[in-house]
Structure formats: C-alpha cells, structure tokens
Chains A and B, each alone.
Chain A
Amino acid sequence: KQEVTQIPAALSVPEGENLVLNCSFTDSAIYNLQWFRQDPGKGLTSLLLIQSSQREQTSGRLNASLDKSSGRSTLYIAASQPGDSATYLCAVNSISSGSARQLTFGSGTQLTVLP
C-alpha cells in the first residue's frame, strides 16, 4: 500500500527566504505526483503536476522535482512571501490504484511566512 510522508509538518520562515518542502513515498511505481495548496475555506488548488517520466516542473516561483527511484519529491519556493502561507499537500497517483487513479495524500506541511 502506498504511503506518503511530508516533513516537516510545520515550517515558519521570514519573508524573502527560499525554502524546500519534502515529500516521500514508499512505492515508486507511480503515474504522477501532484502538489496542492490548501487555504482555509478555499479547498485545494493544484500547483504542479509531475509525470513519472519527468524530473521537474516549474511555475513562477515554484519548482517541483521528482526522484522516482528514491521515492522523493521536493517543492522549492523562491523568495517566499506572506501570501505563500498555506498548507502544502503532496499526492501520488500510484500504478497500483489501477484505473481508479486514486490519489494518496501526505498529511501536509503548514507553511507560515512572516512579514
């Protein structure tokens, strides 16, 4: 059974810092990995989707990498801003889920960027 772990559970940084969020998964047989942002009362927003054949994806100040063989992904946020404060979730679409395309989620990293 796929298990997804995110460390740390919470992170507080001063504005302007570059930071890295970590995600690890136990079964490397995946279709893709998705990073989400969760804001209170606003649901989940998809940030980046990395296919199993890709090594990284970039969107603005965000860069996500994938090392499938080691079961790890990182989300890099450059020049952090207070508006980046949210919970960041990593989710894996495993081949073992078959046609269900079921996502297995980590429990998230709660990020606070201090002005």
Chain B
Amino acid sequence: DADVTQTPRNRITKTGKRIMLECSQTKGHDRMYWYRQDPGLGLRLIYYSFDVKDINKGEISDGYSVSRQAQAKFSLSLESAIPNQTALYFCATSDERTGMRSEQYFGPGTRLTVT
C-alpha cells in the first residue's frame, strides 16, 4: 500500500462549486504539505502544517483553505472553484525529527478540472 494517498485521483467540477481534496499518510510524519502543479511550471506550495494545531500559508494560498483533522490526514478545500484552479494537486509529508535533512514524500496527485 502507498504511504501517501490522495482522493479523488481525478475530479471535474463546475465554477463556483466547493470541493475538497483529501490526503492520508501512513508514514507517521508530522509535517504535511499541499502543492499545485501547472503545465510547464514547477510545483508551488499552497499550505503546510507542522502538526494538527499548526497551519501555515504557502506561496499561493488565496482561494484555498485546509484542515488537519489528525496527524495522518490533511485536506485541501476550494471554497468556490474557478477555472484557473485547474491543475494537478500533490500532497507531501516529511519528518521534522530529521530536521533540515528532511526528505519530502509525495502522493500520486489529484487532477482537478474546473469548467
């Protein structure tokens, strides 16, 4: 079984709809991240969480919100989806106990299309 899973894997939704993307991990890591990838661009950080009580905005947080329901679960919400949020979304985890040596592990991604 994969260490970092994301649901759904693909989603098509309409402008203005609320949508939630979910991420679960079995690695026991304390840190979780949400990134988005647009064609021809690298991944950009949306939000990150150090633990259940610590949520932080990343580079491109506008239009998004997150919830860390448990150490193993981190969800990303689009309150009112718009077409330029069409992208590939990745969840990642890392273990802060390894400090600055920490490696990030990625889920398989969710392809979101907003029409």
Contacts and interface: CB of A to CB of B under 8 A. Distances in A.
Interface residues of A, dominant DSSP:
strand
Contacts of B107: 43
A101 B98 CA distance: 12
Given A44-B90, A103-B45, A106-B42, A34 B103 contact: yes
Contacts, number: 64
B57 to A, nearest CB: 10
A30 B36 CA distance: 22
Contacts of A31: 100-101
Contacts of A18: none
A112 interface: no
B5 to A, nearest CB: 10
B41 A107 contact: yes
Interface string B34-50: 00000011111100101
B101 A51 contact: yes
A93 B100 contact: yes
A107 B40 contact: yes
B64 interface: no
B42 A49 contact: no
B105 A46 contact: yes
B101 A101 contact: no
A31 B104 CA distance: 13
B100 A34 contact: no
